């Protein structure tokens, strides 16, 4: 048995116990050896998942960012196991806190006292000062690097939503924070729920065991209909409107390639084990109704060994939609989620979903990954086996940012440029008034100027 | 049986005594008291006592050997034996007053006897919770680079073990020229209307510098195969003709460079813009250097010393600025112009008589044969006579074209891209004003430095910029385009074209 196969097995063995993996497994890229020999695909032991986190002393969570996802994450957290509580809230806006409390009362009969609800830009600091064991970060992405730094400094475990930042400067801050958190042995889950999705993980393990051979390329997609927007209310300042409409402003969201498509880019990172070294992208704004973002991107990501991955994302009504990933290998391909095909398209392996009453496999019966990620978080805390997804997701976010900047400028953008870039989005002053940021939609390349006669 | 005991037991006792004794010797020669006891380096002892490794907040005192020897299991005994023996030899055979303590204080030297493994033995965690933003950036950079000997903790932490006055590894915003005092500032540049040496005046400053008229002519570029220390890239020899031009008498001084810096300095780097959000035209001004890191002059002094630590890009921008303010065409020399100028009409290894082998200062034979270096000393600042730093130009004599420090002191940027076999691509027969290859990745530098021995300061010696190596420890993100963090031995001199602006008809 080859040395690399042994280490893969060992890795699978240990990770199965906790059911949590933030660790990058050995890489299998074409050109890294082994293509000449016929690798025997080792049998992959089935991962042992927990349907609920184990019981233990009460864990108290604070929620920073009480909008739609914050509320959802809080409910997922409460569903993850026994003896879990939400005890403090922070949001920029009062009405979001009220909406959160109402929803939690309705669904879980949970009350959060008024004096533990904090409003404003610096409300997060008050939550971190409370007696919480962990925090849930669900604000617009712009604020994330600062919130992560503060939460790690306060030594709290963290559930943070993706993306982790909106610009290269933010990505580097998060990478450094990731190192600090690792030294402090904090558990950090980053909302990239496919990594906690049972079918994805099983497919990943089959790929790691060699079922598709060496990876030679792939495609990642997030093409969907128009996402939500908020029209400006008369009573709102520009700052308030931008934050309430954050998913349409690139300084708050990073544009949709970062905000949403990072999920698929993270799968590309996960399966290959490495990040691309340069990107050539293009994109434009066709129909978006507010804000300064594009509504589609198309990026060619190039890796160090010459491999290419194609990425596309779109948010326009009336177009064909596709949210998925595929990875091509020397012996087959996979949709990363539940199926592995050979080079001719015949099925080599399929994930066995739990069956319904009629005995048919039913994907809906699989554990909800949004809850699973909280189960894994709580289990990790209660069994004192920390794991930290921050660095991986920071790299995936930086990859998406690299694609965005290439599309905005029309130039090839390299990872080195990103690790050295000074680009920092956002205004210098935070107050409820006019916001000084560039608001024009970026246009790539140069204008054609006809010669004057 | 008794015989065995007779030999074995005493052997065991002697062996044990030797081991215990050796252990005692090792520990007692590793104490601070012992290190200080020779009284050879009182300055180093004193600077250690003022450092953060001596006066720590926790009260712990870092010992000499904790930095100056690797940790146990990492070659401790071997390094101790080596350095110990070397110390003893030097103590008994040399005069400690002749040691170059200045050089030993510098980074190049320090890297070799302050062990990184020792740093990491104590400083295991590079990301403590209280790490500052600057520390985060620097340590993120450090952990993500491929490990090389040049990438050493001490690059940024040179003052950890020994106090250095004014040491800063941050952006040096106060860097700049001293005021010109009461000297009057020039309103205009010098007017030149014929091909004769002149003294240029930089407008809006009180700085002048001498330009020598270098007549055109033919020469053989490269070196013959039998020249000592010749490298492959110096051949095959070609006949080259160079048109007349003006060349600066000396390398660009700090006085000149700081004038440029002050007149064009930018506050911070301009941020890249994401796409062009502006629709109007971009103004075309010369924006100059941003504040340097630490002390670009390395603490050796400004004034007439050659300017160092700036990048090739900065040198080119300097020439563009100088052209703009003087109304002449200043630029970097081509490699052919440079070699022609350095030879001054000669075709020997140096522009003065002498065999490179006889001017060596390093190496066993050199020390043994006690070379007479008085000739080379009067013309060239090199390893044999420089206290490992740049020198002002009044220390040397000029070459036959009136140019000083062509060889030695700082190496000089040329405008050519470097190509190892450029001479073989030039045709045989006469080549006129060659300019090097069309593209390349690094530029030519010529002349050798104050750190080089005799073999590398010959007229034909070629070298090239090492951009990524010279930015290795720039802990800023992004790295500077104006300053090198790890190169303080390259500068340049300007060439002024003999064209319509300088009297050519």
pLDDT tens-digit series, residues B164-223:
877 766 666 666 665 555 678 888 899 999 999 999 999 988 899 999 999 999 999 999
**Residues A293, A201 contacting (CB under 8 angstroms):** no
Q: Are residues B107 and B236 in the same domain?
A: no
**Element housing B45 (H / E):** helix B42-49
| Interface mutation vs chain A, best among B128, B144, B269, B274, most A CBs within 10 Å | B274
- Say whether pLDDT at A31 is over 90: no
Q: Do B272 and A422 touch (CB under 8 A)?
A: yes
What CATH number should be reported for the domain holding residue B488?
3.90.1580.10
Please tell me the total count of domains within chain B.
2
- Among residues B121, B155, B189, the one where a domain terminates is B155
A183–chain B Cβ distance below 8 A for any pair: yes
- Segment A261-271, tens digit of pLDDT: 999 999 999 99
User: What pLDDT was estimated at residue A6?
Assistant: 36
In a domain, B167, yes or no: no
State percent of chain A over pLDDT 90. Answer: 84
Do B336 and B429 belong together in one domain?
yes
The two tokens of residue B118 are 């020792």
Looking at the structure, do residues B343 and B473 belong to the same domain, yes or no?
A: yes
Question: How far apart are alpha carbons B454 and B459 in whole angstroms?
Answer: 11
Residue B165 lies in a domain: no
Task: Select from B120, B155, B190 the last residue of a domain.
Answer: B155
Structure-derived torsion over alpha carbons of residues A179, A184, A186, A190, reported in degrees to the nearest 10: -10
Structural domain contains residue B166: no
With an 8 Å Cβ cutoff, are B128 and A183 in contact? yes
Residue A419 contacts B where some CB pair is shorter than 8 Å: yes
Does any domain span residue B256? yes
- Write out pLDDT tens, residues A232-244: 999 999 999 999 9
Question: Closest by alpha carbon to A186, among A177, A174, A195, A197?
Answer: A177
Mark the ranges of chain B whose per-residue pLDDT is less than 50: 267-284
Q: What is the pLDDT of residue B383?
A: 87
Range of the domain at B226: 198-267+286-502
Residues B112 and B57 grouped into a single domain: yes
What are the pLDDT digits (tens) for A199-211?
Answer: 999 999 999 999 9
Sheet holding A322-329, edge to edge: A347-350, A339-342, A332-334, A322-329, A215-224, A308-315, A296-302, A278-284, A413-414
Q: Do the bridges between strand A413-414 and strand B198-201 make them parallel or antiparallel, or are there none, so unpaired?
A: unpaired
Of B140, B155, B170, which marks where a domain is finished? Answer: B155
Same domain flag for B203 and B102: no
> Mutating which of B141, B269, B276 best tests the A interface, going by the most A Cβ atoms within 10 A?
B276
Task: Tell me if chain B has a CB within 8 Å of the CB of A416.
Answer: no
Q: Is the pLDDT at A346 greater than 90, yes or no?
A: yes
pLDDT at A448 > cutoff 50: yes
Predicted pLDDT at B274: 35
**What is the C-alpha separation between A276 and A266, in angstroms, rounded?**
11
What is the band of A56 on the pLDDT scale with cuts at 50, 70, 90?
Answer: very high
Residues B357 and B495 reside in one and the same domain: yes
CB contact under 8 A, B272 and A172: no
Structure-token pair, residue A34: 């082994």
Predicted local confidence at residue B169, as pLDDT: 65
**B146 plus B262 within the same structural domain:** no
B217 within domain boundaries = yes
Same domain, B234 and B298: yes
Q: In B, which residues are within 8 Å of A444 by CB distance?
A: 275
B205 and B71 both lie in a single domain: no
Q: What is the pLDDT of residue B374?
A: 81
- pLDDT(A399) > 80: yes
Per residue in A315-335, pLDDT tens?
A: 999 999 999 999 999 999 999
pLDDT of residue A248 exceeding 90: yes
- Does one domain contain both B373 and B473? yes
pLDDT tens, position by position, A99-118:
999 999 999 999 999 999 99
**Shortest CA gap B136–chain A (Å):** 6
Q: Hey, are the CB atoms on A422 and B478 less than 8 Å from each other? A: yes
**Residue range A30-55: mean pLDDT, rounded:** 66
Residue B192 domain flag:
no
Put simply, the chain B residues between 267 and 306 with a CB less than 8 A from any chain A CB are: 269, 271-272, 274-277, 279
DSSP strand pairing (B245-248 vs B330-331): unpaired
**CB spacing of B126 vs A179 below 8 angstroms:** yes
What is the pLDDT at residue B175?
66
- Let me know if residue B328 belongs to a domain: yes
Reported as a single tens digit per residue, the pLDDT across B326-355 is 999 999 999 999 999 999 999 999 999 888
Instruction: Encode pLDDT of B137-159 as tens digits.
Output: 888 888 887 777 778 888 888 88
pLDDT of residue A285 exceeding 90, the answer is yes
Please list the helix, strand and coil fractions of chain B in percent, rounded to the nearest 5, in that order.
Answer: 35, 10, 55
ipTM (interface predicted TM) = 0.72
Restricting to A residues 431-450, those with a Cβ less than 8 Å away from any Cβ of B are 438, 440, 442-444, 446-447
pLDDT at site A311: 98
CB contact under 8 A, A409 and B274: yes
- Mean pLDDT for A27-42 is 43
Angle (CA) B437-B443-B444 rounded to 5° is: 90
B472 in contact with A, Cβ within 8 Å: no
Sheet holding B443-446, edge to edge: B462-464, B443-446, B411-417, B490-491
Which residue of A146, A167, A176, A184 is the best one to mutate when testing the B interface, meaning the one whose CB has the most B CBs within 10 A? Answer: A176
Q: What's the whole-number mean pLDDT along residues A242-262?
A: 97
Q: Would residue B173 count as lying in a domain?
A: no
Whether residues B125 and A172 touch (CB distance < 8 A) is answered with no
- pLDDT for A140-199, tens place per residue? 999 999 999 999 999 999 999 999 999 999 999 999 999 999 999 999 999 999 999 999
Asked if the C-beta of B144 comes within 8 angstroms of chain A's C-beta atoms, the answer is yes
Say yes or no: B330 and B396 in one domain.
yes
Smallest CA–CA distance, residue A445 to chain B, in Å, is: 8
Q: B427 and B331 in one domain?
A: yes
Say if B443 is an interface residue toward chain A (CB within 8 Å).
no
């Amino acid at each position: 048995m080859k040395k690399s196969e042994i280490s893969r097995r060992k890795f699978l063995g240990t990770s199965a116990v906790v059911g949590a993996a933030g660790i990058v497994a050995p890489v299998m890229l074409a050109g890294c050896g082994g293509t000449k020999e016929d690798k025997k695909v080792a049998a992959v032991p089935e991962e042992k998942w927990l349907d609920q986190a184990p019981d233990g002393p009460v864990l108290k969570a604070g929620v920073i960012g009480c909008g739609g996802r914050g509320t959802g994450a809080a409910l997922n957290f409460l569903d993850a196991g026994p003896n879990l509580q939400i005890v403090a809230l922070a949001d920029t806006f009062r009405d979001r806190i009220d909406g959160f409390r109402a929803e939690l009362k309705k669904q879980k009969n949970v009350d959060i006292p008024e004096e533990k609800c904090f409003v404003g830009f610096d409300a997060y600091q008050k939550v971190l000062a409370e007696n919480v064991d962990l925090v849930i970060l669900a604000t617009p992405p712009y604020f994330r690097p600062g919130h992560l730094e503060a939460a790690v400094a306060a030594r709290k475990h963290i559930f943070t939503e993706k993306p982790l930042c909106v610009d290269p400067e933010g990505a580097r801050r998060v990478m450094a924070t990731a190192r600090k958190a690792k030294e402090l042995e904090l558990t950090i889950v980053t909302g990239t729920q496919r990594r906690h999705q049972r079918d994805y993980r099983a497919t990943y393990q089959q790929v790691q065991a060699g079922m598709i051979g060496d990876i030679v390329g792939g495609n990642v997609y997030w093409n969907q209909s128009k996402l939500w927007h908020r029209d400006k209310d008369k009573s709102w300042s520009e700052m308030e409107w931008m934050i309430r409409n954050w998913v349409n402003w690139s300084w708050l969201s990073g544009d949709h390639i970062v905000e949403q498509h990072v999920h698929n880019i993270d799968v590309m990172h996960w399966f290959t084990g490495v990040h691309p070294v340069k990107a050539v992208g293009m994109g434009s704004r066709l129909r978006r109704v507010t804000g300064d973002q594009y509504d589609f991107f198309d990026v060619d990501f190039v890796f160090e060994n010459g491999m290419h991955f194609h990425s596309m994302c779109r948010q326009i009504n009336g177009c064909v939609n596709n949210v998925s990933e595929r990875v091509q290998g020397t012996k087959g391909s996979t949709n990363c989620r539940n199926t592995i095909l050979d080079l001719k398209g015949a099925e080599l392996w399929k994930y066995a979903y739990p069956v319904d009453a009629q005995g048919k496999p039913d994907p809906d019966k699989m554990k909800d990954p949004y809850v699973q990620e909280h189960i894994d978080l709580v289990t990790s805390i209660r069994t004192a086996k920390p794991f930290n997804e921050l660095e991986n997701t920071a790299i995936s976010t930086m990859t998406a940012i690299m694609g965005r900047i290439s599309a905005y400028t029309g130039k090839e953008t390299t990872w080195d440029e990103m690790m050295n870039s000074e680009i920092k989005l956002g205004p210098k002053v935070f107050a409820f008034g006019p916001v000084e940021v560039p608001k024009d939609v970026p246009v790539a390349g140069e204008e054609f100027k006809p010669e004057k006669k | 049986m008794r015989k065995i005991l007779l030999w074995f037991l005493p052997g065991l006792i002697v062996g044990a005594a030797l081991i215990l004794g050796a252990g005692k010797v090792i520990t007692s020669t590793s104490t601070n008291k012992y290190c200080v006891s020779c009284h050879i380096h009182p300055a180093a002892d004193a600077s250690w006592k003022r450092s953060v490794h001596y006066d720590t907040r926790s009260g712990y005192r870092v010992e000499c050997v904790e930095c100056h020897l690797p940790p146990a299991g990492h070659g401790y005994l071997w390094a101790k034996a080596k350095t110990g023996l070397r110390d003893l030899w030097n103590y008994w055979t040399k005069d400690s007053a002749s040691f170059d303590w200045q050089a030993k204080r510098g980074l190049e030297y320090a890297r070799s006897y302050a062990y990184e493994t020792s740093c990491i033995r104590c400083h295991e965690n590079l990301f403590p919770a209280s790490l500052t933003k600057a520390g985060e950036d620097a340590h993120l950079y450090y952990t993500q680079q491929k490990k090389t000997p040049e990438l050493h903790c001490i690059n940024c932490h040179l003052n950890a073990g020994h106090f250095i006055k004014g040491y800063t590894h941050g952006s040096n915003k106060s860097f700049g020229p001293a005021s010109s005092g009461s000297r009057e500032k020039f309103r205009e540049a010098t007017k030149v209307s014929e091909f004769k040496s002149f003294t240029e005046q930089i407008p809006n400053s009180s700085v002048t510098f001498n330009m020598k008229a270098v007549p055109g002519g033919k020469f053989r570029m490269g070196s013959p195969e039998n020249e000592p220390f010749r490298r492959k890239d110096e051949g095959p020899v070609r006949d080259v003709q160079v048109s007349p031009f003006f060349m600066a008498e000396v390398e660009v001084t700090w006085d000149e460079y700081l004038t440029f810096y002050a007149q064009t300095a930018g506050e911070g780097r301009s941020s890249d813009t994401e796409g062009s959000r502006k629709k109007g035209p971009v103004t075309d001004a010369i924006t100059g250097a941003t504040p340097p890191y630490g002390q670009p002059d390395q603490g050796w002094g400004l004034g007439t010393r050659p300017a160092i630590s700036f990048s090739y890009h900065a040198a080119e921008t300097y020439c563009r600025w100088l052209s703009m303010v003087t109304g002449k065409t200043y630029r970097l020399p081509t490699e052919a112009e440079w070699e022609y100028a350095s030879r001054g009409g000669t075709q020997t290894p140096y522009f003065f008589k002498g065999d490179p082998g006889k001017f060596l200062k390093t190496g066993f034979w050199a020390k043994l044969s006690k070379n007479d270096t008085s000739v080379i000393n009067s013309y060239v600042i090199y390893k044999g006579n420089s206290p490992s730093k740049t020198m002002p130009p009044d220390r040397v004599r000029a070459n036959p074209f009136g140019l000083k420090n062509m060889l030695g002191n700082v190496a000089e940027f040329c405008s050519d891209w470097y190509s190892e076999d450029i001479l073989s691509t030039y045709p045989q027969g006469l080549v006129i004003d060659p300019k090097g290859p069309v593209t390349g990745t690094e530029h030519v530098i010529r002349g050798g430095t104050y750190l080089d021995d005799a073999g590398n300061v010959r007229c034909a010696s070629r070298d090239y910029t090492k951009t990524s190596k010279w930015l290795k420890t720039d802990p800023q993100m992004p790295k500077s385009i104006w300053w090198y963090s790890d190169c303080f031995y390259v500068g340049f001199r300007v060439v002024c074209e003999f064209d319509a602006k300088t009297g050519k008809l």
